[in-house]
Structure 1
Amino acid sequence: MAQSPTMSPLSSSADWRDLYALTKPRVMTLVVFTALCGLLAAPGHMHPVLAFSSILAIALGGGASGALNQWYEAGIDAKMKRTQDRPLPAGRLDPRTALQFGVGLAAFSVFLMWFASNWHAALWLTASILFYVFIYTIWLKPRTPQNIVIGGAAGAFPPIIGWVAVTGTLDVYPVLMFLLVFMWTPPHFWALSLFVRMDYAAADIPMMPVVAGEGPTRKQILLYAILMALVALAPWALGYAGLIYGVVASVMSLIFVALSAHVGLRRTVTDDKMLPEKRLFAFSILYLFLVFGAIVADHWWKL
């Protein structure tokens, strides 16, 4: 395990909110939403109770991944200003509690998914948890600046899981959803890493701005934004989605690429006024919500 910080005596303030914080609820919101869109866009019918249980299983699986990530990276989080107040580095929880919570939540999420839908979806959920914990957190993140590129697959699994929960099989459309999130992740996260790069440098994490510098990172942001836009238009071009999705994806992707160009063609910034980078990061979240929302709206319009 990554070196843990010196733990202070557990605070009497430790409660359910600390366990909730371990699940990275902000990240989990995107996970749940894209999974729900994959489920709602899938052909076929699923009982509302089972559909809710399946989405709950995905949320719990995402939360378990976040908890295990924070357990492993407690020492790293203690070195970064933006993560120092998390439950483990702040000393409000002990590592053993976090580990047991994460493992238990992961196991329960998989069994719930199996019970609510099918073993195919449970298998995909298991793969997403294992990928995030072992491939991204333990192997990629501390070793390569490409950690976000390859590790982006972990956050791209939910729409596939939602789709398979309904159908029991994989199709081209959910794979395109997977690729959209996969290509979206680097510009989204590198925009963030540009204005918190000193945190990553202090924790010795080889993020792209730390290892390659600002210039190459900015160019990579623009490159991946263009690739993401092409992937976003693919469902419309290939006939899997209709006009509603095509218009929303086109407009939102155009704005995304324009904001990325502003960041990508910008010179290295020596001060902390990274407004274009922060603007891109904020818009990227809105982008994913609106484009995936358009997937569902387009599907239901055609019914």
Structure 2
Amino acid sequence: MTTATRDIILPAEWRDFWALTKPRVMSLVVFTALCGLLAAPGSIDPVIGFTAILCLAVGAGACGALNQYFEADTDAKMARTSDRPLPAGRMDRESALHFGIGLAAFSVGIMGVAVNWLAAGLLAFSIFFYAIVYTIWLKPNTPQNIVIGGAAGAFPPVIGWAAVTGDVTLLPVVLFAIIFLWTPPHFWALALFMKTDYGAAGIPMMPNVKGQKSTRNQIFGYSFPMAATAVLPFVLGQTSWLFGAASVLLNIVFIALAYRVWRNDTTDAMAMKPEKQLFAFSILYLFLLFAIFAFDRMLIL
């Protein structure tokens, strides 16, 4: 047992295993995957479709469990994460590791057998990328951790699409790019008002390494290619004016909030209202953008 976590391990409850899966993060992953599945051309048996989404949810849970296994010591140093099962001493690390590996193997295996092996391969790679490439290599070593690591969270709509079609075409790649470009401004907004926490844990987030001004510049800068990519489904003729208008409106609000972050020069975390507003809206932005996209595609297919 490491010194960063409690010496006495309490018996783990089902709630602790549930917490390992990071259910809030999982909900967004499942939702974007479902949107990719609903937007794909062709049809899928409802039972197979449900199985695909369930496997993806279980795979996302595996990512959360493995991430917390590798970051138990780091989580213990941050107020935001110190009450997670491992740093709080409610579970031993080996249980978290076995749980994460079991979820990963189950989700990929069932996806391959019941759905198709392309979707299973993409799911396996996304789990590997998040748990190993991002958690072990990128996050503790580079302020570009979120930029490159954003790929892990961008796979779900592609997997949902592949579950239906058995292939990957341009449109799911665009969906991947939207989430990939959305991730840096979303997480850097959080990092700005959580700078002290990340600093205490020794994580080289952008505000801690490059400074807050540079981070605000990059948040504002990233919002433009993200917005341009978000309207591509309409520009490519893959959606109607419903999605086109909604995308433009959502992007105007996002850029306006990013502009307020860019103009804000406070170093006081308590006074970072624009950053907190952007972080909160960015979650709503992605939910609405993908929901309207899926609805629009279902209308025109």
TM-score by length of 2: 0.98
Q: Aligned pair 1:54/2:52, yes or no? A: yes
Note if contact 1:60-1:109 (Cα within 8 Å) is conserved in structure 2.
Answer: yes
Deviations 1:200-224 (A, max 9, x none): 0001100000001100000100011
Any conservation in 2 of the 1:64–1:101 contact (CA below 8 Å)?
Answer: yes
Q: What is the identity, as a one-letter code, of the residue corresponding to 1:86? A: R
Residue 267 (structure 1) shift: 1.3
Q: SS of the residue aligned with 1:160?
A: helix
Q: Aligned equivalents of 2:266 and 2:160: distance in 1? A: 41
- Does the 8 Å contact 1:164/1:170 carry over to 2? yes
What is the CA-CA distance between 1:75 and the residue it aligns to?
Answer: 0.2
Q: Which residue of 2 aligns with 1:259?
A: 257
Gapped regions of structure 1 (runs ≥ 5):
none
Answer yes or no: is the 8 Å Cα contact 2:239–2:300 preserved in 1: no
- Quote the residue 2:218 is aligned against: 220
Instruction: Give secondary structure in 1 for the equivalent of 2:167.
Output: coil
Residue 124 of structure 1: which of 119, 122, 125 is its match? 122
Question: C-alpha displacement at 1:115, in angstroms?
Answer: 2.1
In the TM superposition, what whole-angstrom CA distance separates every residue of 1:203-249 from its partner, at most 9, and x where no partner exists?
11000000011000001000111111000011111112221110111
Superposed counterparts of 1:29-40, under 5 Å: 29-40=27-38
Query: Structure 1 residue 11: deviation in Å?
Result: 2.0
Tell me if structure 1 keeps the 8 A contact 2:174–2:233.
Answer: yes
What percent identity do the matched residue pairs reach?
57
Tell me the alpha carbon deviations over residues 104-161 of structure 1, each in whole angstroms, 9 at most, x when there is no partner.
Answer: 0000000111122100000000000000011100110000000000000000000000
Deviation at 1:4, TM superposition (A): 6.3
Q: What RMSD, in angstroms, separates the aligned Cα atoms of the two structures?
A: 1.2
Amino acid at match of 1:118: N
1:43-82 pair list within 5 angstroms: 43-82=41-80
Aligned to 2:282: 284
The residue matched to 2:140 in structure 1 has which SS? coil
**Partner amino acid, structure 2, of 1:197:** K
Task: Report the CA distance between 1:261 and its aligned residue.
Answer: 0.5
Q: Secondary structure at the match of 1:86?
A: coil
Shift of 1:271: 5.0
2:141 to 139, 143, 168: 143
Q: Does the Cα contact within 8 Å between 1:242 and 1:298 map onto a contact in 2?
A: yes
Q: Which amino acid aligns with 1:190?
A: W
Counterparts of 1:133 and 1:162, CA distance in 2: 20
- Pick aligned residue for 1:173 from 162, 171, 175: 171
Runs of 4+ in 1 over 2 A off after TM superposition: 3-8, 268-271
Aligned partner of 1:183 in structure 2 is 181
Q: Are the aligned partners of 2:193 and 2:269 in contact in 1 as well (CA < 8 Å)?
A: no
- In the TM superposition, residue 9 of structure 1 has moved relative to its aligned partner by 1.9
Using the TM superposition, give the Cα deviation of residue 262 of structure 1 relative to its aligned residue in structure 2, in angstroms.
0.4
Task: Provide the C-alpha distance between the structure 1 equivalents of 2:249 and 2:83, rounded to a whole number of angstroms.
Answer: 38
How far apart are 1:7 and its partner, in Å?
3.2
Pairwise CA distance, 1:8: 2.8
Letter in 2 for 1:282: A
Q: Is the 8 A contact 2:123 2:159 kept in 1?
A: yes
Return the match for 1:108 from 103, 106, 109.
106
Distance 1:125 1:273 in 2: 40
